[in-house]
Amino acid sequence: MKTLSICIPTRNRQIYAMSAVRAMVRSERQDFEIVLADNSDDATPLAEFFAELNDPRVKLLAPESKVLSMRANWERMMPHTTGEWVSYIGDDDYLDPELCEVISVTTRRVPTVDAISWGRLYFIWPEARKHREVTKVPTGNHLIGVDKQEMMRKLFFWEAASDRPMCPFGVYHGTVRRSLMEEIRDTFGGVYFGHPIVDYDSICRTLLLAKGLVHFERPMSVFGACKASNTFGMRDEKVAAERIRTFKAEMDGVIEARDFPFPLELGITAQIAHVIESFKQQQGIEIDAWEDNFIRACANFCEAQPNRELFNLKKSGYTEAIREWRGEAALKTFKPVYKTRQDLPPFVGINDKNLSFDMGIGNAQSAAEFYTVLEAMMFPIPLLEGRLAA
Amino acid sequence: MVYLTICIPTRNRQRYCIEAIKAIAASQETDFDVIVADNSDDPEIMKQFFANEFSDSRFRLLPSRDRVLSMIDNWERTMEEVTGRWVSFIGDDDHIDPRVIGLLRRYEREHKDVDAVGWSRMNYSWPDNRVRSTLAIVPCAHDTHIASKALLQDNLYKWSERNKRPSCGFGIYHGALRRSLMEKIKRKCGNRYFEHPTVDFENSCKVIHLAKKLIYCQRPFSVLGACAASNSAVTQSFEAEKQRVQQFLDELGDGMQVQGDDFPFSPFLPGLSILSGIASTTWWYCRKYGLDKTGFEENFVHAAIDHCLASRNADEYEIKVAGLRIGFDLWQGGKWAHLFNPPAFKPPVSHNTLTGVYGKTIYLRESALDAATPGDFYNFAQSFVMPAEHVISDRRAFAA
């Protein structure tokens, strides 16, 4: 049995998926597998790539006769995985197979662990980068046991949220033990993934049922954003609206929660809130005193806008939604202040346990290359066991 | 008169030197010149390069003379040619960013009497010098400090930190000095710019003694390269060390010696060339110019122990300890030998594999780097060190 199944669902972005797979199979490890679920209009590119690759660690699921929703494409992968642990990434992302070593070290120390997360690394593909981008990588390298109650507060109560809840556990850019995935399926209506926005749905499900949470501070994967990605789309209003239309056309199920009048066009905070609300409504979870935290996250989202025009647009959108949702009084918590200083350059260097650096580092042309460059300057995974033993 | 003169003394490492020249020549700065002082056995390679392959009026070649000069004499003749207001020396397998001119101008604006500027350096091993796993090192802080001469003198003359190498951070080698300071050094120290064969440390001793104001910038502006043929490569193997020490001694000028008779730690002892080279230099300087080095003896014993404990394995440790025992037995009638009691050696769990960010420094696995030269590596590292223009303008405000 493999230690890890890395799942890469893809649709019409074959070259990105191939780039990630090519880099992963360079690993000498034999204890991981890659499952590619192709949901593209044209099956040929990945089929040819797969034949040429001829690596027993890679499985390809060909497109079905009709285009699947993202959720269904994620769902159909699980039965084809054999790993004791499962992880999903996007096709323009990257994940280091050395995660197997992290899993093995972690499970020896904490046998009950069933969800592991790690530090985050963001990469905008060069063709989608209009100007110099400075990004951050966490510099820590500790394995940390995480209190589940604290995570529940962060996710369901939006405690200390930025523009989104600070809970990294789930199958997307995290890894979940197979037994927990099966428990998730059995608990939530016989499917692994329920909501069209699969990543946050997975976070909710994972957190509710997980028994042991461990966070590794060092990044093990890269959140990529190519020009065609939803992440990239969020940077432009028109593109974002178009992406939401396409997404809705191709999805199954319902995104919006009941009685939650936040249009999806408002952006990531509203979208995530719909996932969490839907989950709570379905599971009959009723909690109090989370609203103010959520409203603060809405303000944080507005404050993160790159220019005043967008700030004003989002501010009025959220103002209207909050008023409709909880009345005028709820707006007392909603006090976004425009702080973006386009005239100031970004900080570069080490500060507050993060290294801020130019995304163009090493002229990386792909998420995998980006990770390779960064890997040479992060904590070496082969030393993890030895350090814990010391 | 240019603002900064960069000096590159070189001997028989033309390939590296040419890369260093090209990397510096890529700079858009204009107010600097570069003197390449060739001391190679074959003068033709550099002559041909300057005559046919390279054309840049900022660069000037001092060709090899008809006989090989000692390193110190080659440095001396180079310094005699300097016209810049400021001067800096680097090795032929190193790199320096001429934008350091902007930093010097800033410090001169802020402190009229500054005459010595130091900065952090990156460390980089050339691809041919990676017999074992190696790490490149990039300091990532960017603050400015006005140095305390008293503290620097404690560190360098008395070895008060008790580390295997004393820290200093100032000197003409990978630092910049006002030319007037070098003239002062010449006036006060034997009518020469350089007197002792360990040129970098002898100059540091003089600078922290005679400079009026010393300012240090944490942001790196140069790269200490280590090619297979470099002195710093001696840390890779005892055999390489032995060869380099012999070559160094063979090429010393007449009447020159590395160690004083009263400091019997031979650089020939395996694993001790760098430690004894530095210690004999600071010892020599203090004695010659009558400077207070109280406490040096005890401190040096501890530094020697630290040096032994920094070994890669038990064999290396034993060899170093044995060599140092010989030295301590001979030194001042064995007066300090009883203090030299290195504790039992615990081999390190790993050597040169711990990459990552520790404090404000980044360690990188060199075998994974694309950069093929120190110049390439410096450019690569620009992605994660504070941009030079912000350090030069003393910017404090950044976007959230």
Structure confidence by residue, pLDDT tens digits, A33-77: 999 999 999 999 999 999 999 999 999 999 999 999 999 999 999
ipTM confidence: 0.93
* Residue A200 confidence (pLDDT) above 60: yes
- Out of A346, A372, A382, the one facing B399 most closely (by C-beta) is A346
Which tokens in the block code for residue B81? 């040619």
- Out of A340, A346, A377, the one facing B362 most closely (by C-beta) is A377
The model's pLDDT over B35-74, given as tens digits with 9 standing for 90+, comes to: 999 999 999 999 999 999 999 999 999 999 999 999 999 9
The model's pLDDT over B316-353, given as tens digits with 9 standing for 90+, comes to: 999 999 999 999 999 999 999 999 999 999 988 888 89
Which tokens in the block code for residue A387? 């350090």
State the Cα–Cα distance between residues B108 and B94, nearest whole angstrom: 26
> Taking CB atoms and an 8 Å limit, are A383 and B354 in contact across chains?
yes
Summarize the confidence of residues B15-21 as an average pLDDT: 98
The predicted pLDDT at position B247 comes to 75
> Taking CB atoms and an 8 Å limit, are A141 and B356 in contact across chains?
yes
> Taking CB atoms and an 8 Å limit, are B400 and A341 in contact across chains?
yes
Most B-contacting residue of A123, A129, A359, A377 (CB-CB within 10 A), to test interface: A377
The set of residues, in sequence order, having a beta carbon less than 8 Å from that of B398 and lying 6+ positions away, is: A344, A345, A346, A347
> Which residues of chain A neighbour B370 with C-beta distances below 8 Å?
362
> Which residues of chain B neighbour A386 with C-beta distances below 8 Å?
349-350
State the Cα–Cα distance between residues A375 and A94, nearest whole angstrom: 12
> Which residues of chain B neighbour A390 with C-beta distances below 8 Å?
349
Summarize the confidence of residues A318-337 as an average pLDDT: 97
| Contact between A70 and A196 (Cβ < 8 Å) | yes
Q: Among positive and negative, which fits the CA dihedral A350, A352, A354, A358?
A: negative
Query: CA dihedral defined by B225, B229, B230, B231, rounded to 10 degrees?
Result: 160
Rounded to the nearest 10 degrees, the angle between the axes of helix A291-303 and helix A308-326 is: 160
| A379 touches B: beta carbon within 8 Å | yes
The set of residues, in sequence order, having a beta carbon less than 8 Å from that of A107 and lying 6+ positions away, is: A113
The model's pLDDT over B128-142, given as tens digits with 9 standing for 90+, comes to: 998 889 999 999 999
* Residue A248 confidence (pLDDT) above 90: no
- Out of A139, A347, A378, the one facing B398 most closely (by C-beta) is A347
Count of CB atoms situated within 10 Å of the CB of B214:
24
Model's pTM, two decimal places?
0.94
Q: What are the φ/ψ torsions at residue A370 (nearest 5 degrees)?
A: -60, -45
> Which residues of chain B neighbour A216 with C-beta distances below 8 Å?
none
Of B238, B233, B231, nearest in space to B258 by CA:
B231
Residues of B with CB under 8 A from a CB of A: 140-142, 349-350, 353-357, 360, 362-365, 368-370, 380, 382-387, 390, 395, 397-400
* Residue B174 confidence (pLDDT) above 90: yes
> Taking CB atoms and an 8 Å limit, are B400 and A339 in contact across chains?
yes
Most A-contacting residue of B352, B384, B393 (CB-CB within 10 A), to test interface: B384
CA of A374 vs chain B CAs: smallest distance (Å)? 9
| Confidence grade of residue A249 (pLDDT, cut at 50, 70, 90) | confident
